[in-house]
Amino acid sequence: MNYTPVIGLEVHAELKTKSKMFCGCSSDYFGQKPNTHTCPVCLGLPGALPVPNKKAIEWCIMIGLALNCKIANFSKFDRKNYFYPDLPKGYQISQYDQPFCQKGSVKLANGKQIGITRVHMEEDTGKLIHQGDSTLIDFNRSGVPLVEIVTEPDFENAKEVVEYLKKLQQIVRYLSVSDADMEKGNMRLEPNVSLRKKDVKELPKYKVEVKNINSFRFVEKAIVFEIKRQTEILENGETPAQETRGWDENKQKTVSQRAKEAANDYRYFPEPDIPPIRFTQDQISKIKSQMPELPIAKLSRFIKDYLLSEYDAEILTREKDLADYFEKTVNDAKDSVKYLTIRPSPKIIANWLINKRPDIDKILPARLIKEIILAGELTRVDDIELEKVIKKILFENKKAVADYNSGKIQVIGFLIGKTKQHFPKADTNQIKTMIGKLISLYT
Amino acid sequence: MKLNQLTIKQAQEGLRNRKFSSVEITKACLEQIKKHDKKLNAFITITEREALESAGKADELVSQGETLQDKPLLGIPIALKDIFSTKGIRTTAASNVLKDYMPVYDATVVEKLKNAGAVIIGKTNCDAWAHGSSGENSDFGPTKNPWNTEYVPGGSSSGSAVSVASDMCIVATGTDTGGSIRHPASFCNVVGLKPTYGRVSRYGIVAMASSLDSIGHITKTVEDSAIILNTASGKDPKDATTLGFPIPDYTESLKKEIKGIKIGVPREYFIKGTDPQVSALVKKAILVLEKQGAKIVELPHTQFANPCYYIIQPSEVSSNLARYDGIRFGLGRENFGDEAKRRIMLGTYTLSAGYYEAYYKKAMQIRTLVKKDFESAFTKVEAIITPVSPTLPWKLGEKVDDPLKMYLSDIFTITANLAGIPGLAVPCGFAEGLPVGMQILGPQFSEELLFQIGYAYEQATEWHKQKPNL
């Protein structure tokens, strides 16, 4: 391909504050009876005024800090004027030229830095429900706090985008500021895609935005599709149209929604109902101090403190709940079960959590420790001893080996079983790893 | 004296001493409305049943020994400009768009007045959406000046000024975005207060231009104005632009002597184009307060205030009126009158991409300069006195076809809105049988001082006691 994709991303994340952005209504709208979480403010009744939710602003700043942004000392809200039936005031309160957070970055696994242009605060709209010839409006979602995170056009392929999205989702979940649940719509994605010639530096003259994407898988498919579509157009000597497209999962393609020429002039101006907001360095430091440990920091700490492999540590830190549970179990194993002579090591606890996937909402760490102990004295077998035995087993079970190597990897269970006859108390993970290492030698 | 002619102060005393009942005052007001409102058209909605009911309740409370400590306005009939949301009482903004709109909640000020015991007697006429300076721009017909029904009463709080001037109520509320309280007060010979921006909550009041809207009231005396501000002012958790500045008892300091006070007169407010009769009356009034005459001050950016105001105000109006789409409440946008449409178009234009920098942003910079003019003037003098309007009340219909001429009638009042400072309009005489008012301006949160000056003037003169011959 003679073209390099230029991809940027806009992500909207709904915050899970108790109340809405500008009124006291509950923001927990999901599955509620329509129009039961409303008041004069979020219905846009005459005379109603917005009062900003302090917690939501703090959380927006936390997201900005987690994405290494600069936090503005002076910021304000603006009105974005446009008509749509789900927007009761005829304008959305958003931020235009002075967002709370700007100029951040996120590092991908390959070391590449993705620039964060801005992180700003706004309000969600109501929801239209089309029924036959009529349209109903549910304002329960109207005014729910929404954080918009915009990246620089730094991505070059769909894989990078998905990696970034997973990281972002993980960060907001760690901060406990959003459920970032794609299915419930509390995280919404809008990639913009264009292509430039391989050795050209400047950005392409057009941009295609893709909307209505509600899963990471679809975002990947939509980007891959767009790259292919735009390449074909460019190779015919034409320029793709500047437009907004939507992902159609049934047709497995993007479809044009509206040409950019008809784009709205939003007539932004400072929201006169909300005074500008100033932050002192102290206030920002205070917000920073309230932030929990972020995934990257936790990952390296797990590797260092618990002597875990990067692979294990990554799995354990993927979700904060699991990471917390792991640490609690390790500590409980150290402290509260001192009377036990056998104490599972962090590595054994990690293996147990990764392989057996116990229901951590139901099983308390103390009980888990007991289960691990009852399951057998989990000891690490000497690697040389283990290798000898496994080599022998692999030699004796040529059919299983051949099956495994041709893709039927589930036969590994049979081989683990054979090995366990020799080492009944051995850590399954250790056996599994060793078989995996040796089996390819027996093709 | 008839009961409907009472001031708040007099009504409070009479009720406390059981000289008369709230029902009696309320009935007297209702009777006056019935007698004269066909001619004057001050009211859009008269809430006779509710008024008599709450007056009855007030009397009950008085008989149970309720003191006026907790309910200072107990039993006092009040009229509300029809852009104050009133739960269960239709609120039209004098526009056909809202002719059947029934609010589900009370504005904060309405809630405060109710809690203080006030009796809501009705909703007053005004220029639709508070757009206007004459009271003629109402979809419910123009309000007439009680001093001469061929003349306009001033606007936009036309019905509020007229209802107080003609004793249809004891007090009325209003809103002032560019002079809409002070202007009709001066045209009708009553007292009008535009408080400091942020002193009184805007929550629940149909917004005109949010950064300029001030919520105030029209009364028969300066003392009454102070009594209402005691109830209405204060920080409101529902209005982020209200400030927690301490609230003094405005009635307490009222009678403080103002000897030696430095009053300023801005050169820019006594210019060609101002009716010489108006200038003369205001200058005479200043001499009453300061025998040696006032100090001349400069407010050099005054000449830019009107164009600046007519960019900021329509910009905000165009956005504030966007919610009237006929989807959730009210009727469709085709029901907007010409003036609202004019402001929507002007504001949409000045906020558009490419024009924002040239218009809105520039206007905001000028606004800062106007504000600084006042700040620097208030380092030299304590208060400034000017005419409220450059002209006497004009004849109905005289300016309706010339919006620019109409806009110019606000030139002396809009500066206070741009600067966010308070202004008090006080009657200061008559010319050609029509009232003339002066306005007293002070720094932000200087309402106490304005009341002191206004009160001192009232004590020395009789203008405010003049009543129209209905």
| Predicted confidence (pLDDT) per residue in A271-312, tens digit | 999 999 999 999 999 999 999 999 989 998 988 888 888 888
Q: Which domain holds residue B139?
A: 3-465
Residues 367-406 of A with CB under 8 A from B: none
What pLDDT, on a 0 to 100 scale, did the predictor assign at position A213? 87
What pLDDT, on a 0 to 100 scale, did the predictor assign at position A362? 82
Q: CB B85 to CB A51 under 8 A?
A: no
Partner A contacted by B18 (CB < 8 A): no
What span, in angstroms and rounded, lies between the C-alpha atoms of B428 and A302?
81
Q: Are B132 and B31 in contact (CB under 8 A)?
A: no
What span, in angstroms and rounded, lies between the C-alpha atoms of B115 and A294?
51
Q: Are A293 and A305 in contact (CB under 8 A)?
A: no
Closest to A47 (Cβ–Cβ): which among B205, B241, B352? B205
B354 against A47, higher pLDDT: A47
Q: CB B316 to CB A272 under 8 A?
A: yes
Q: CB A47 to CB B207 under 8 A?
A: yes
Rg of chain B on CA atoms, in Å: 21
Task: Identify how many contiguous H helices and E strands chain B contains and give both numbers.
Answer: 14, 11
Closest to A49 (Cβ–Cβ): which among B83, B240, B360? B240
What span, in angstroms and rounded, lies between the C-alpha atoms of B389 and B322?
31
Q: How far is CA A99 from the centre of its chain?
A: 22
| Predicted confidence (pLDDT) per residue in A116-143, tens digit | 999 999 999 999 999 999 999 999 999 9
Q: CB A47 to CB B204 under 8 A?
A: yes
Please tell me the least confidently modeled range out of A101-110, A251-260, B278-287.
A251-260
DSSP string, B225-259: HHHHHHHHBS-BTTBTT--------TTTSTT---T
Closest chain B residue by Cα to residue A44: B323
What pLDDT, on a 0 to 100 scale, did the predictor assign at position B152? 97
- Of B39, B150, B94, the C-alpha closest to B393 is B150
Q: Are A125 and A43 in contact (CB under 8 A)?
A: no
What are the sequence ranges of the domains in chain A?
3-289, 295-374, 383-442
What pLDDT, on a 0 to 100 scale, did the predictor assign at position A343? 63
What pLDDT, on a 0 to 100 scale, did the predictor assign at position A10? 96
Q: CB A267 to CB B237 under 8 A?
A: no
Closest to B325 (Cβ–Cβ): which among A46, A79, A90? A90
CATH topology of domain A383-442: Arc Repressor Mutant, subunit A (1.10.10)
- Of A17, A37, A100, the C-alpha closest to A64 is A100
Percent of chain A with pLDDT over 90: 59
Average the pLDDT over B29-39 and give the result. Answer: 97
Residues in chain B: 470
Structure tokens at A27: 């923001």
| Predicted confidence (pLDDT) per residue in B394-413, tens digit | 999 998 888 888 888 899 99
> A60: exposed, middle or buried (C-beta count within 10 Å: 0-12, 13-18, 19+)?
buried
Q: CB A52 to CB B240 under 8 A?
A: yes
What span, in angstroms and rounded, lies between the C-alpha atoms of A105 and A117?
8
* Contacting residues of A for B239, CB less than 8 Å apart: 49, 51, 273
Q: CB B240 to CB A273 under 8 A?
A: yes
* ipTM for this model: 0.95
Q: How far is B91 from chain A (nearest CA, A)?
A: 9
Partner B contacted by A47 (CB < 8 A): yes
Confidence of residue A345 (pLDDT cuts 50, 70, 90): confident
Q: Are B175 and B211 in contact (CB under 8 A)?
A: no
What span, in angstroms and rounded, lies between the C-alpha atoms of A395 and A416?
14
Q: Are B281 and B429 in contact (CB under 8 A)?
A: yes
Give the contacts of B400 (CB within 8 A, at least 6 positions apart): B134, B136, B137, B406
Q: Is the pLDDT of residue A336 over 60?
A: no
Give the contacts of B217 (CB within 8 A, at least 6 positions apart): B160, B171, B172, B173, B174, B181, B192, B193, B225, B228, B229, B232
Partner B contacted by A322 (CB < 8 A): no
| E strands present in A43-90 | 70-71, 74-75, 78-81
For residue B401, which amino acid is it?
D
Reduced to 3 states, what is the DSSP secondary structure of residue A418? Answer: helix
Closest chain A residue by Cα to residue B204: A47
Confidence of residue A341 (pLDDT cuts 50, 70, 90): very low
Partner B contacted by A191 (CB < 8 A): no
* Contacting residues of A for B100, CB less than 8 Å apart: none
Q: How many CA atoms lie within 13 A of B94 on its CB side?
A: 36
What span, in angstroms and rounded, lies between the C-alpha atoms of B408 and B391?
10
What span, in angstroms and rounded, lies between the C-alpha atoms of B182 and B156?
10
Structure tokens at A48: 């109603």
Closest to A81 (Cβ–Cβ): which among B105, B237, B322? B322
Partner B contacted by A45 (CB < 8 A): yes
Please tell me the least confidently modeled range out of A273-287, A334-348, A350-364, B227-241.
A334-348
Q: How far is CA B418 from the centre of its chain?
A: 16
Residues of B labelled catalytic? 81, 156, 180
Q: Are B24 and B119 in contact (CB under 8 A)?
A: no
Reduced to 3 states, what is the DSSP secondary structure of residue B2? Answer: coil
pTM over 0.90: no
Residues 27-86 of B with CB under 8 A from A: 83-85
Q: Are A152 and A105 in contact (CB under 8 A)?
A: no
**Most A CBs within 10 Å, among B83, B328, B357, B365, to test the A interface:** B328
Average the pLDDT over B335-353 and give the result. Answer: 95
Run of H or E including B237: none
Q: Is the pLDDT of residue B351 over 70?
A: yes
* Contacting residues of A for B327, CB less than 8 Å apart: 85, 137
**Most A CBs within 10 Å, among B123, B319, B355, to test the A interface:** B319
Confidence of residue B155 (pLDDT cuts 50, 70, 90): very high
Partner B contacted by A5 (CB < 8 A): no
Percent of chain A with pLDDT over 70: 94
Sign (positive or negative) of CA dihedral A405, A406, A409, A414: negative
Q: Which residues of A86-117 are buried (b: 16+ CB within 10 A; e: fewer)?
A: bbbbbbbbbbbebbbbbebebeeeeeeebebb
φ, ψ for residue B77, nearest 5 deg: -70, 130
Q: How far is A268 from chain B (nearest CA, A)?
A: 7
Q: What is the CATH number of the domain that holds B363?
A: 3.90.1300.10
User: What is the crossing angle of helices A428-439 and A398-405, to 10°?
Assistant: 80
Report the domain count for chain B. Answer: 1
Partner B contacted by A50 (CB < 8 A): yes
Closest to B319 (Cβ–Cβ): which among A45, A91, A275? A91
* Contacting residues of B for A88, CB less than 8 Å apart: 323, 328
Q: Is the pLDDT of residue A261 over 60?
A: no
Confidence of residue A263 (pLDDT cuts 50, 70, 90): low
- Of B389, B149, B423, the C-alpha closest to B279 is B389
For residue A66, which amino acid is it?
A
Q: CB B204 to CB A40 under 8 A?
A: yes
Partner A contacted by B210 (CB < 8 A): yes
What pLDDT, on a 0 to 100 scale, did the predictor assign at position A337? 44
- Of A362, A366, A378, the C-alpha closest to A428 is A378
Give the contacts of B290 (CB within 8 A, at least 6 positions apart): B261, B263
Closest to A90 (Cβ–Cβ): which among B105, B316, B322? B322
Partner B contacted by A85 (CB < 8 A): yes
Confidence of residue A1 (pLDDT cuts 50, 70, 90): low
Q: Is residue B470 part of a domain?
A: no
Residue B79 DSSP one-character state: E
Sign (positive or negative) of CA dihedral B71, B73, B75, B81: negative
Q: Are B188 and B389 in contact (CB under 8 A)?
A: no
| Predicted confidence (pLDDT) per residue in A367-391, tens digit | 887 777 777 655 667 778 888 889 9
Q: CB A40 to CB B104 under 8 A?
A: yes
Q: CB B105 to CB A45 under 8 A?
A: yes
The answer to whether the bond into B166 is cis (omega within 30° of 0) is: no
* Contacting residues of A for B321, CB less than 8 Å apart: 90
For residue B185, which amino acid is it?
A
CB pairs under 8 A between A and B: 101
**Most A CBs within 10 Å, among B80, B111, B235, B241, to test the A interface:** B241
Structure tokens at A20: 């809405």
What pLDDT, on a 0 to 100 scale, did the predictor assign at position A340? 47
Q: Is the pLDDT of residue A260 over 60?
A: no
What span, in angstroms and rounded, lies between the C-alpha atoms of A202 and A209?
19
What pLDDT, on a 0 to 100 scale, did the predictor assign at position A382? 72
SS3 string, B256-317, reads CCCCCCCEEEEHHHCCCCCCHHHHHHHHHHHHHHCCCCCEEECCCCHHHHHHHHHHHHHHHH
What span, in angstroms and rounded, lies between the C-alpha atoms of A88 and A85?
7
**Most B CBs within 10 Å, among A21, A125, A269, A277, to test the B interface:** A269
Structure tokens at B94: 């004098």
Percent of chain B with pLDDT over 90: 88
Average per-residue pLDDT in chain B? 95
Reduced to 3 states, what is the DSSP secondary structure of residue B413? Answer: coil
* Contacting residues of A for B105, CB less than 8 Å apart: 40, 45
Closest to B319 (Cβ–Cβ): which among A51, A79, A85? A79
Average per-residue pLDDT in chain A? 89
- Of A114, A202, A149, A193, the C-alpha closest to A13 is A149
Residues 87-146 of B with CB under 8 A from A: 91, 93, 98, 101, 103-105, 107
| Predicted confidence (pLDDT) per residue in B243-297, tens digit | 988 999 999 989 888 888 899 999 888 888 899 999 999 999 999 988 777 788 9
Sign (positive or negative) of CA dihedral B14, B18, B23, B24: negative
Bridge partners (DSSP) of residue A426 are A379
